[in-house]
Chains A and B, each alone.
Chain A
Amino acid sequence: MQPFIAHTGLAVAINTANIDTDQIIPKQFLSKVTRDGFGVHLFHDWRYLDDDGDQVNPEFVMNQPRYQSATILIAEENFGCGSSREHAPWALQDYGLKVIIAPSFADIFYGNSINNGLLPVKLSHEQVQQIIAEIESEIGAQVSVDLENLKVISPSGATFDFTIAESARKNLLKGLDAIGLTLSFDQNISGYEAAIPAWRR
Chain B
Amino acid sequence: MAQTLYEKVWRSHVVTEPQGEAPLIYVDRHLVHEVTSPQAFSGLKAAGRKLRAPEKTFATMDHNTSTQSASLDALSPMARIQVETLASNCDEFGVRLYDIHHPNQGIVHVMGPELGITLPGTVIVCGDSHTATHGAFGALAFGIGTSEVEHVMATQTLRQLKAKTMKIEVRGQVAAGITAKDIILAIIGKTGMDGGTGHVVEFCGQAIRDLSMEGRMTVCNMAIEMGAKAGMVAPDETTFAYLKGREFAPQGDDWEQAVAAWKQLRSDEGAVYDAEIVLDAADIAPQLTWGTNPGQVVGIDQCVPNPANESNDTLRDSMTKALAYIGLEADTPMTEVSINKVFIGSCTNSRIEDLRSAAEQAKGRKVADGVTALVVPGSGQVKLQAEAEGLDQIFIEAGFEWRLPGCSMCLAMNDDRLEEGDRCASTSNRNFEGRQGRGSCTHLVSPAMAAAAAIAGRFVDIRKPY
Partners in one complex: yes
Q: Find out whether the CB atom of B154 lies under 8 angstroms from the CB atom of A198.
A: no
The answer to whether residues A199 and B314 also contact, given A111-B145, A111-B148, A189-B26 and a CB cut-off of 8 A, is no
In the bound complex, residues from chain A placing their C-beta under 8 Å from that of B438 are 26, 45, 51
> Of A22, A106, A183, which is within 8 A of B197 by CB?
A106
Mask: chain B, 411-451; 1 = CB below 8 Å from A; 0 = not: 11100000000000000001011110010000000000000
What is the CA–CA distance of A150 and B283 in the complex, to the nearest angstrom? 47
Interface residues on A, range: 35 or more
Question: Is B144 an interface residue, CB under 8 A from the partner?
Answer: yes
Shortest CB-to-CB span from A141 to chain B, Å, is 23
> Would you give the shortest CB distance from A170 to chain B, in whole angstroms?
7
- Chain A binder among B253-261, B271-279, B342-350, B389-397: B253-261
A residues 25-81 near B (Cβ < 8 Å) are: 26-28, 30-35, 45, 51, 76-78, 81
Docked Cα-Cα span, A33 to B22, in Å, equals 29
* Cβ < 8 Å to A, chain B residues 123-175: 127-129, 142-148, 150-151, 154-157, 159, 161, 163
Q: Which residues of A contact B20 (CB under 8 A)?
A: 166-167, 170
In the assembled complex, A157 has its CB within 8 A of some CB on chain B? no
B145 & A86 in contact (Cβ 8 Å cutoff): yes
B38 with A33: CB separation less than 8 A: yes
CB-defined contacts of A198 to chain B, threshold 8 Å: 250, 253-254, 257
Which of B15, B24, B197, B321 interacts with A107 by CB under 8 Å?
Answer: B197
Q: Which residues of B contact A156 (CB under 8 A)?
A: none
Which residue, A26, A81, A89, A181, has most C-beta atoms of chain B within 10 A?
A: A81
Residues in B278-314 with C-beta less than 8 Å from chain A: 293, 314
The contact string, 1 if C-beta is below 8 Å from chain A, for chain B 367-410, is: 00000000000000000000000000000000000000000000
B interface residues, how many (CB within 8 angstroms): 75
A104/B194 contact (C-beta < 8 A), A22-B434, A33-B85, A83-B129 known: yes
Given known contacts A82-B430, A84-B145, A182 and B293 CB-to-CB distance under 8 angstroms:
no
The chain B residues found within 8 Å of chain A, CB to CB, are 15-16, 18, 20-22, 24, 26, 28, 35-36, 38-39, 42, 47, 49, 52, 63-64, 76, 78-79, 81-82, 85, 119, 121-122, 127-129, 142-148, 150-151, 154-157, 159, 161, 163, 193-194, 197-198, 224, 227, 229, 250, 253-255, 257-258, 261, 293, 314, 317-318, 321, 411-413, 430, 432-435, 438
Enumerate chain A interface residues (CB-CB to B < 8 A). Answer: 16-18, 20, 22-23, 26-28, 30-35, 45, 51, 76-78, 81-86, 89, 104, 106-108, 111-112, 115-116, 125, 165-168, 170, 178-179, 181-183, 185, 188-189, 192-193, 196-200
